[in-house]
Amino acid sequence: MTKQRKPSARAYGVTIRDGQILMVRAARRDASTSLWWLPGGGIEFGESPEAAVVREFFEETGITIENPRLLDVTNDTYRRHNGDLVHNIRIIYTVDYVSGELRDEVNGTTDLALWMPLDQIGDYEIAEYAQHAIGLVTQTK
């Protein structure tokens, strides 16, 4: 039986430095694809979206950010391999790099963090919402 879950609010950040964007690779159980996301994730109960993006960004990359500025709000639904239907509401911010040494998340939803050259993003499989956000940011540059 297919289960439907309540919508999940998530916060993501876009930061670009020296012609590179910080991206994270989705940890895949089947290892059949390498899908890249923006750093970010679920908003905890009582947490503001701005606080969530700062926390999630650090958890997934080791990088400290500040000054989240709303870029866009999107939503999507998809079906998981087990048949569950998922609905994500994605709050996307541009953020400023502050400090930190890039590192990968261990035992999380991502497994690799990478400063990806903007002129090479076509070489990677990037989640649709992330492609949209990158397009919004790079159009204004």
CA angle 78, 81, 83 (to 5 degrees): 70
Residues 82-111: what's their mean pLDDT? Answer: 91
Confidence bin at 140 (pLDDT 50/70/90): low
Confidence bin at 53 (pLDDT 50/70/90): very high
Q: How many CB atoms lie within 10 A of CB 28?
A: 11
How far does the chain reach from its first CA to its final CA, in angstroms?
47
Residue 84 CA from chain centroid, whole number: 21
What region, left, alpha or beta, does residue 15 occupy, with left being phi > 0 and alpha being psi -120 to 50 degrees?
beta
Asked if residue 101 has pLDDT above 90, the reply is: yes
**Token pair listed for 71:** 């870029």
Contacts of 97 (CB under 8 A, 6+ apart): 15, 17, 22, 63, 65
| CATH number among 3.30.1700.10, 3.30.470.20, 3.40.50.12280, 3.90.79.10, domain 8-134 | 3.90.79.10
Asked if residue 50 has pLDDT above 60, the reply is: yes
Asked if residue 81 has pLDDT above 80, the reply is: no
Domain ranges of the chain: 8-134
The whole-number pLDDT of residue 3 equals: 67
Residues 51-73: what's their mean pLDDT? Answer: 97
The whole-number pLDDT of residue 33 equals: 67
Half-sphere exposure (CA, 13 Å, Cβ side) for 95?
A: 31
Instruction: Give me the residues paired with residue 69 across strands.
Output: 94
Asked if residue 2 has pLDDT above 70, the reply is: no
Residues 60-86: what's their mean pLDDT? Answer: 91
- pTM (2 d.p.): 0.89
Radius of gyration of the chain (CA): 15
Nearest-angstrom CA–CA distance, 65 and 68: 8
Asked if residue 86 has pLDDT above 80, the reply is: yes
